[in-house]
Structure 1
Amino acid sequence: MPRIAGTSGARISKPSAAPAGATIAIYSVKGGVGKTTLAANLAWFAASLSGHRALLWDLDAAGGSGFLYGLEPKDSRLAEDVLLGERPPSRLIRKTSCSGVDVLPADESIRALDARLVRIGKRKRLARMTAQLAADYDRILLDCPPVMNELSAQVVRAADLVIVPLPPSPLSSRAFDLVLREIAGNTKRHPPILPVISMLDMRRALHRQVQEEHPNWPAIPYASVVEQCAVRQQPVGAIAPRSPAARQFAMLWHAIEMKLAGRG
């Protein structure tokens, strides 16, 4: 296992109260916030630091999560069928080169998924599917599209924790407020929410100000090694395990496990 800077090469122990088969949604109503990069990296850290079996479920038709693990899309349109219960998830799940990480990829068929979910009236379809997948996976990470519709409503009903990536900007603050309203409007008892400052550049005054205003929010730096994830199609922990970015991802994963255990 790659040694992560600041962790002495040791795995982060699983908190005893952390639920088995927890579903973690990485969600924002705003695009371009680093959502897919965050989801793909967290799946790797779930497996590498906590020893979990992790499933990265891509719900965004752009299919970025599979790409970041070097998985080329197959010539099929089955992702919608899986979500509609017409095919088993095992038909699409693919193993990655990273031990413990599988991907349930997206394809263009889910572009019209929202309308079909509304028509069939199954408001907890995604929650039931993640509960079934929890028999095989310790952590299920949902890479969510930047939408406010029936699919996003199903995401927040299924999630045990919602991660909201927020680049330091006034628009991100507005997007966070929209996420809070979306969650509150679609759940009776909403899941815990963990805002994460993404693409933090401490050379910029606004970024420093945002971090000073929210010192307890985890932060992922704007760094070339994070951009290299897309170029090399591997997570930060695999390509640069001793980098500051890898250390921040490890700290974020520990914060997530603490949240799931009810101690964060």
Structure 2
Amino acid sequence: MASIAVYSVKGGVGKTTFAVNLAWCAASISRRETLLWDLDASNGSGFLMGIDPKKKRNAESVFDLDRTPRKLIRKTDYPNLHLLPADESIRSLDRQFSRIGKRKRLAKIAAGLRKDYDRIIFDCPPVLNEVSAQVMRVADLVIVPLPPSPLSTRALKQVVEEVKGSGKSHPPILPVMSMIDMRRNLHKDARAANPKWPVIPLASAVEQCAVEQKPVGVFAPRSPAARAFAQLWTAIERKLAKG
């Protein structure tokens, strides 16, 4: 099993859209048994999948010492793809981790899911807190969506510093330029400054994910955005294969 974290230090950069579309690529293109684990209190991944969390059990309950995440995992409409949804209870996890005194609780839960899943995609909180720090300790790769701006390199350095601060070692980081429009000079300059970064274009198909509540590869499989996510997933698989 490999774990991929989609992380950003701020909202509005396409983090959740990345997580959902990459999870779909893992399940549909690579045909991996995939779990999309939403750790953002807004439940954006669940919304984009058309799945609401069950009210009887909240998202933080998966971290209780006597609970199993399997009771919270939901099937999606797509083969090989399951969702562990979030809700507002995620906001109290820092306090819960402190109460149970477990800095490796998430890693232990993820290890228990190895026999069920080939890939876990984490939709991280848009801040570095104890939750995201625990994700960084278990992730094999961190995907960082960055908007096309002269500040992108600076933003990436900030992410690297925060990820490094989560522990003595940290997983490889793959920056991805998101929402790029090559008709704009600013975007061209940002692309020229970072030519090796993968790119997800600014496209109406990506925006429609929230309207359709589906991954872009489902309703617009021939669109440039769908091809870009597929290419990004191929690059991720290659990076994981290299170790």
Which one of 24, 37, 41 corresponds to residue 44 of structure 1? 24
Q: Give the structure-1-normalised TM-score.
A: 0.88
Change (3 A) 1:85 1:33: farther
Task: Measure the CA separation in 2 of the matches of 1:86 and 1:181.
Answer: 35
Equivalent of residue 220 in structure 1, options 195, 200, 207: 200
SS at 1:146's partner residue? coil
Q: Once the two structures are superposed, what CA deviation does each residue of 1:93-115 show, in whole Å capped at 9, x if it has no partner? A: 00011111100000111111112
Seen in structure 2, the aligned counterparts of structure 1 residues 148 and 190 have a Cα distance that, compared at 3 Å, is same
1:1-264 → structure 2 map (5 Å cutoff): 21-262=1-242
- How far did residue 76 of structure 1 move? 3.4
Structure scoring higher RCO (CA < 8 A, sep ≥ 6) equals 1
**Separation in structure 2 between the aligned mates of residue 216 and residue 163 of structure 1, nearest angstrom:** 14
Distance in 2 (alpha carbons) for counterparts of 1:175 and 1:128 = 31
Query: How many correspondences in the alignment?
Result: 243
- Root-mean-square deviation over aligned CA pairs: 1.4
Once residues 35 and 87 of structure 1 are traced to their aligned partners in structure 2, the CA distance between those partners, rounded to angstroms, is 28
Hey, what's the Cα distance between the residues in 2 that align with 1:138 and 1:202?
36
Indicate the larger mover: 141-150 or 80-89: 80-89
1:223 to 1:82, Cα distance in 2 relative to 1, 3 A: same
Q: Distance in 1 between matches of 2:72 and 2:135?
A: 19
Residues 133 and 163, structure 2, Cα contact 8 Å, conserved in 1: yes
C-alpha distance in structure 2 between counterparts of 1:98 and 1:46, whole Å? 11
With the length of structure 2 as denominator, give the TM-score of the two structures. 0.95
Shift of 1:30: 0.9
Q: Cα distance, 1:80 vs. partner?
A: 0.4
Give structure 2 stretches of 5+ with no counterpart: none
Correspondence for 1:3: none
Aligned to 2:109, the other structure's residue is in SS state helix
- For the residue of structure 1 that corresponds to 2:142, the secondary structure is strand
Q: Tell me how far apart the structure 1 counterparts of residues 158 and 95 of structure 2 sit (CA, whole Å).
A: 21
Which AA in structure 2 matches 1:200?
I
Q: Distance in 1 between matches of 2:121 and 2:55?
A: 24
**Cα offset, 1:239, TM superposition:** 0.6
Letter in 1 for 2:215: P
1:118/1:150 contact within 8 Å kept: no
Deviation per CA, 1:102-159, whole angstroms, max 9, x where unpaired?
0000011111111221332211111111111121001000000111221121110010
CA distance in structure 2 between the aligned counterparts of 1:114 and 1:169, rounded to whole angstroms: 33
Letter of the structure 2 residue corresponding to residue 56 of structure 1? L
Q: Which runs of 4+ in 1 moved over 4 A?
A: none
